[in-house]
Amino acid sequence: MTDYSGQSFPPSLEPEDWAHMRRLGHQMIDDMMDFLEGINDQPSWRPIPEEVKQKLNQDLPQLPTAAEEVYQEFKQYILPYPKGNIHPRFFSWIQGTGTAIGALSDMLASAMNPNVTIGEHAAMYVDQQVVNWCKQMLNYPASASGMLVSGGSMANITSLAVARNAFKDANIRKHGLKNTSHSLVLYCSTETHSCITKAAEIIGLGTDAVRFIPVNTRFEMDTRLLVQAVEEDRANGLTPFCVVGTAGTVNTGAIDPLEEILSICRENNLWFHVDGAYGALAKLDPRFEQELQAIESADSVAFDLHKWLHVPYEVGCLLVKNAQLHRDAFAITPSYLLQFDRGLAAGPDSINNYGFELSRGFKALKVWMMLKTYGIQWFAGLIAKDNTLASWLAQKIENHPNLKLAAPVKLSIVCFQYVNPRLNMEQTNSLNKEIVIRLQEKGIASPSSTILDGKFCIRTSIVNHKTTYADLDMMLEAILELGKEIV
Ligand X SMILES: *Cc1c(COP(=O)(O)O)cnc(C)c1O
Q: What whole-number distance in Å separates Cα of residue 157 and Cα of residue 318? A: 10
Among 162, 258, 277, 318, binds ligand X (CB under 6 A): 277
Which CB sits closer to ligand X, 308 or 416? 308
Q: By CB under 6 A, is residue 246 in contact with ligand X?
A: yes
In angstroms and rounded to an integer, the radius of gyration of the C-alpha atoms of the chain is: 25
- Residues 56-115, interacting with ligand X (CB under 6 A): 94
Q: Which window, 36-44, 241-249, 378-386, 395-403, contacts ligand X (CB under 6 A)?
A: 241-249
Residues paired with 240 in a beta bridge:
185
- Please state the closest distance from residue 270 (CB atom) to ligand X, in A: 20
Among 195, 242, 364, 439, binds ligand X (CB under 6 A): 195
By C-alpha distance, which of 425, 421, 309, 325 is closest to 373?
309
Nearest approach in angstroms of CB 149 to ligand X is 9
What are φ and ψ of residue 222, in 5° steps? -85, 105
For 426-480, where are the E strands, in sequence order? Answer: 446-452, 455-461
282 binds ligand X (CB under 6 A): no
By beta-carbon proximity to ligand X, the closer residue of 199 and 439 is: 199
Is residue 158 within the footprint of ligand X (CB under 6 A)? no
| Closest CB 408 distance from ligand X, rounded Å | 17
Amino acid letter, residue 398: E
Task: Examine residue 355 and tell whether it contacts ligand X (CB under 6 A).
Answer: no
Contact 339, 362 (CB under 8 A): no
CB of 254 to ligand X, least distance (A): 10
Shortest spacing between CB 249 and ligand X, in angstroms: 6
Tell me if 128 sits within 8 A of 122, measured CB to CB.
no
Rule CB under 6 A: choose which of 135, 193, 310, 465 binds ligand X. Answer: 193
Site size for ligand X, by CB under 6 A?
A: 15
C-beta pairs of 352-358 under 8 Å, 24+ apart in sequence = 352/117, 352/118, 353/327, 354/145, 354/146, 354/147, 354/158, 354/326, 354/327, 354/330, 355/147, 355/149, 355/154, 355/158, 355/318, 355/330, 356/158, 356/161, 356/330, 357/117, 357/149, 357/154, 358/117
Shortest spacing between CB 394 and ligand X, in angstroms:
19
CA distances from 444 to 60, 168, 437 (A): 37, 55, 10
Check residue 278 for interaction with ligand X (CB under 6 A): yes
Smallest separation, CB 333 to ligand X (Å): 29
- We find the least distance from the C-beta atom of residue 106 to ligand X, in angstroms, to be 17
Q: How far is CA 381 from CA 187, 246, 375, 384, 469, in A?
A: 34, 23, 11, 5, 16
Contact segment (CB under 6 A) with ligand X among 15-23, 235-243, 251-259, 271-279 equals 271-279
Q: Applying CB under 6 A, which of residues 146, 152, 240, 347 lies at the interface with ligand X?
A: 152
Q: Which residues bind ligand X (CB under 6 A)?
A: 94, 151-153, 193, 195, 246, 248-250, 275, 277-278, 304, 316
